[in-house]
């Protein structure tokens, strides 16, 4: 989770820098067009006005080029990161058990499928690499349909058996 936050913050900073460069470049480009109006307002000579326009266009174009280059580098690095992840994932072939969640193994000995749902035998599934679904015999537990292994439900407690019926006679204590 911490790595995700760092990645998001880095992407945000890079995006913000690119947007600032783009906005600055566009503003300088537009101000070059408005230099004539600005020159008349400030009473600049034609030579000064021409030089001002030149530098504003140059600065605006440089800002836009830097923004485009920044976006290109950012995209290229992101693509390289995705390619590294893909190569890393291809190095390890997918395992049969990748589709299963083993959080229930320690508690009751069953595997749970991540996408299909349902419970699977903790004995057959990892060893034989087969999908051995268990049959519900709730509330007492589950039974494997392949190897008939029994998995008791740890949350189930059989009700106490009733005491045998005993008839009270006149000779028993408590009678009258």
User: How many domains would you assign to the chain?
Assistant: 2
User: 174: helix, coil or strand?
Assistant: coil
Evaluate if residue 10 carries a pLDDT over 70: yes
pTM: 0.40
Alpha-carbon gap, residue 88 to 110, rounded angstroms: 30
Tell me the pLDDT tens digit for each residue of 111-167.
787 787 788 887 887 777 777 888 887 778 888 888 888 888 877 676 777 666 666
Q: What does the CA dihedral 136, 117, 101, 108 come to, rounded to 10 degrees?
A: -10
CB within 8 Å of 29: residues ≥ 6 apart: 56, 57, 60, 61, 64
Same domain, 83 and 107: no
Same domain, 109 and 68: no
Alpha-carbon gap, residue 60 to 64, rounded angstroms: 6
Same domain, 19 and 62: yes
Same domain, 84 and 124: no
Q: Where are the beta strands (DSSP E) in 14-170?
A: 100-101, 110-113, 119-121, 134-137, 141-144, 150-152
Tell me the pLDDT tens digit for each residue of 38-67.
777 777 788 887 887 788 778 878 878 888
Residue 170 lies in a domain: no
Residue 166 lies in a domain: no
């Amino acid at each position: 989770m911490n790595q995700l936050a760092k990645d998001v913050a880095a992407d945000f900073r890079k995006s913000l820098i690119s947007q600032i460069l783009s906005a600055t470049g566009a503003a300088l480009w537009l101000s070059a067009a408005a230099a004539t109006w600005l020159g008349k307002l400030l009473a600049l000579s034609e030579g000064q006005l021409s030089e001002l326009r030149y530098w504003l266009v140059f600065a605006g174009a440089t800002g836009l080029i830097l923004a485009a280059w920044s976006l290109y580098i950012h995209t290229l690095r992101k693509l390289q990161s995705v390619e590294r992840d893909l190569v890393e994932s291809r190095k390890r072939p997918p395992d049969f058990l990748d589709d299963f969640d083993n959080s229930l193994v320690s508690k009751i000995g069953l595997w749970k499928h991540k996408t299909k749902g349902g419970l699977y035998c903790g004995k057959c599934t990892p060893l034989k690499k087969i999908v051995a679904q268990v049959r519900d015999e709730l509330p007492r537990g589950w039974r494997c349909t392949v190897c008939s292994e029994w998995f008791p439900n740890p949350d189930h407690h059989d009700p106490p058996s009733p005491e045998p019926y005993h008839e009270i006679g006149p000779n028993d204590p408590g009678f009258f």
